[in-house]
């Protein structure tokens, strides 16, 4: 492990399954379950794959309990439309980024944020409990993180994530992070009414990182990254350590960096 003064980390799909996706799945499943008089388990993190199985299970086992709701139907079909569109955009982005130049997440982020506002999602709907997050933290990544913190007790930790928060981010407390920079939903009388985009692409991530480096003046910097939008961070000065996913490897060309894949 390296001696580090500053560690810049991504949270979603690094420490935990992407929370924006998990919350989107949760909202969809809650809406579907409402047709059948069922309640969703709030103590779970809903990935896209297990959400598909839950949809079939709810419909097949409870079809005789179906009750039509005009308001619920409008929300449900809008969620289906948005889901297909977002998955299509993400599919195109993944294919393009593996073969050609990088396409950022900006359009996907804006489509989702606009959808949440237009659906008048309640604050309590857009929540993942601290218990759920703690239960689903990636153990391998957490182990590396804790080792770095033990080795570098004075190390500053800054998270730059494209996730949306409503009030505050419980990950800050769970991981003992000094600063979290993320996107934010604005709430009016318990309803999400607008959004603030602080981290919508790689340029925003690099800008935040540069500001942090200017503030702390570290002699050695570490990164935890997993997405193509994180590639711009590889240009940071005094970079000494990178924890990365396989798809990022082709962008790392500095030979004096300690590399670790997860």
Whether the predicted pLDDT of 117 surpasses 90:
yes
Whether the predicted pLDDT of 254 surpasses 80:
no
39 domain residue, yes or no: yes
215 domain residue, yes or no: yes
1 domain residue, yes or no: no
User: What are 209-222's pLDDT values in tens digits?
Assistant: 999 999 999 999 99
**Percent of the chain scoring above 90 in pLDDT:** 82
Task: Tell me the mean pLDDT in the region 85-96.
Answer: 95
**What is the chain's alpha carbon radius of gyration, rounded to the nearest angstrom?**
20
pLDDT range class, residue 1, cuts 50, 70, 90 = low
| Number of other CB atoms surrounding residue 18 within 10 Å | 19
225 domain residue, yes or no: yes
165 domain residue, yes or no: yes
Task: Tell me the mean pLDDT in the region 50-60.
Answer: 91
- The more confident residue out of 66 and 19 is 19
Strand 179-188 to 191-196 pairing: antiparallel
16 domain residue, yes or no: yes
Q: Give CB contacts under 8 A, 24+ apart, made by 136-139.
A: 136/16, 136/17, 136/45, 137/15, 137/16, 137/174, 138/14, 138/15, 138/16, 138/262
> How open is the CA angle 178-180-186, to the nearest 5 degrees?
140
Could you give the CA distance from residue 137 to residue 151 in angstroms, rounded to a whole number? 21
111 domain residue, yes or no: yes
27 domain residue, yes or no: yes
Report the domain count for the chain: 1
Whether the predicted pLDDT of 167 surpasses 90:
no
Task: Tell me the mean pLDDT in the region 53-68.
Answer: 86
* Containing structural domain, residue 204: 6-261
Q: Which domain CATH number covers 15?
A: 3.40.50.1000
Structure tokens given for 30: 């809650």
Those residues whose C-beta lies under 8 Å from the C-beta of residue 232, and which sit 6 or more positions away, are 202, 203, 205, 206
**So what's the pLDDT on residue 81?**
96
**So what's the pLDDT on residue 242?**
96
Does pTM surpass 0.75?
A: yes
Whether the predicted pLDDT of 41 surpasses 90:
no
Q: Give CB contacts under 8 A, 24+ apart, made by 84-87.
A: 85/111, 86/24, 86/111, 86/112
* Average predicted confidence (pLDDT) for the chain: 94
Those residues whose C-beta lies under 8 Å from the C-beta of residue 36, and which sit 6 or more positions away, are 58, 59, 62, 63, 65, 66, 67
Scanning the structure block, which residue is given the tokens 């309990």? 65
């Amino acid at each position: 492990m390296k001696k580090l003064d500053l560690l810049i980390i991504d949270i979603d799909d690094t420490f935990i399954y992407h929370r924006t996706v998990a919350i989107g799945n949760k909202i969809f499943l809650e809406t579907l379950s409402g047709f059948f008089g069922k309640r969703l388990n709030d103590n779970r993190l809903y990935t896209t794959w297990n959400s598909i199985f839950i949809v079939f299970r709810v419909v097949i086992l409870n079809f005789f309990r179906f009750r039509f709701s005009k308001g619920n139907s409008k929300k449900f079909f809008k969620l289906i439309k948005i889901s297909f569109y977002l998955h299509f955009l993400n599919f195109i982005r993944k294919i393009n980024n593996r073969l050609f130049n990088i396409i950022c997440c900006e359009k996907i982020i804006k489509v989702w944020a606009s959808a949440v506002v237009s659906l008048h999602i309640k604050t309590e709907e857009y929540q993942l409990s601290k218990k759920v997050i703690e239960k689903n933290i990636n153990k391998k990544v957490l182990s590396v993180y804790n080792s770095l913190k033990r080795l570098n007790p004075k190390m500053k930790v800054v998270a730059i994530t494209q996730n949306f928060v409503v009030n505050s981010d419980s990950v800050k407390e769970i991981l003992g992070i000094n600063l979290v920079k993320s996107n934010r939903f604005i709430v009016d009388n318990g309803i999400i009414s607008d959004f603030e985009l602080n981290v919508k692409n790689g340029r925003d991530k690099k800008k935040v990182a540069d500001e942090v480096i200017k503030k702390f003046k570290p002699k050695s910097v570490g990164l935890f990254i997993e997405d193509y939008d994180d590639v711009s961070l590889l240009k940071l000065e005094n970079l000494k350590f990178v924890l990365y996913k396989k798809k990022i490897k082709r962008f790392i060309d500095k030979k004096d960096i300690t590399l670790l894949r997860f």
